[in-house]
Amino acid sequence: MRIKIFSILLIGTVLLGQESSYPPPTTLITAPTAGTLVRGSFSFEMRIQNHGGLATALAAGITDRFQFGVSYGANNFIGDDSLQWYPRPEASLKYRILDETMAMPGMSLGINTQGFGRYHSEKDKKRYDTKAYGLYAAVSKNWKFLLGNIGIHGGMNYNFTETTDGDDDPNVFFGLDMEVNPELSLLFEYNSAFNENDKDIQSMAMNDSGYLNAAVRWTFVQHLHIEVDFNNLLFNEENVDYFNREIKLTYIEYF
């Protein structure tokens, strides 16, 4: 009996601690991870946002370590209000400098200038509801769990494009993704929003203490992910009536 119990505990420890061959996602809900698209693959993302907003992004894996992409969108894309295009296309680059090992997480450096939500064109703002991550460093570590893969992610970032509001502090973020089964994953992330805590612009104080986001991601078919996002769960009740719900579609294909 003792041998059987010891064997079960040993197997469980191996399952929880061994390095996973599962490739980590390139992003969580909004936050980047250390994962990159493999060479010869591309992804197309469509994010249906609040107030009828629509943001699209196209990214391609040039090597197994390097990917680049562009994004563009509009406020009021869905609905009967006047269409307001984003002021410019935004860019994203990511390079994985360290591969994940049994003992060490993977690490990537990147740039992403695409913010989230509505774009505010007023001269004292010139920013999105949630600022882009800008220049960032992200780390990721994955393990095999009893139900599937579980990944822990985190990093630091500095936004150098949305600084008109006078708040240009460095920022930190972290999160996790967890497989429930091969089709279904749960995602959680926290963006500390240190670069959004300047209360001089009261109308943009959307969060009380950073952005806490959660999501359910369903792999509908092999290359298509459908995601329901629940964003800004720590919303500021004085300026926001309720947390934000979004739909994100991601299609991944190979050249």
pLDDT in tens, 169-200: 999 999 999 999 989 999 999 999 998 866 44
Which residues, other chains included, contact 8 with Cβ-Cβ below 8 Å and sequence gap of 6+? none
Q: Return the number of other C-beta atoms located less than 10 Å from residue 114's C-beta.
A: 24
Per-position DSSP letters for 13-35, written without gaps between them? HHHHHSBP-SPPPSBSSSSB-S-
**Residue 180 · residue 148 · CB < 8 Å:** yes
pLDDT at 165 over 70: yes
Q: Domain of 47: which CATH number?
A: 2.40.160.40
33-62 burial, b for 16+ CB within 10 Å, e for fewer?
bbbbbeeebbbebebbbbebbbbbbebbbe
pLDDT digits (tens, 9 = 90+) for 90-131: 999 999 999 999 999 999 999 999 999 989 888 888 899 899
* Structure confidence at residue 24 (pLDDT): 66
- What pLDDT shows up at residue 204? 54
**Residue labelled with tokens 């092999």:** 222
Q: What is the pLDDT of residues 214-236, one digit of tens each?
A: 999 999 888 899 999 999 888 76
CB atoms within 10 A of CB 10: 10
Report residue 242 as tokens.
Answer: 């309720």
pTM of the predicted structure, to 2 decimals:
0.85
Q: What percent of the chain has pLDDT over 70?
A: 84
The confidence band for 205, taking pLDDT boundaries of 50, 70 and 90, is low
Residue 206: domain span: 2-254
pLDDT digits (tens, 9 = 90+) for 232-245: 888 766 667 778 89
Total tally of structural domains belonging to the chain:
1
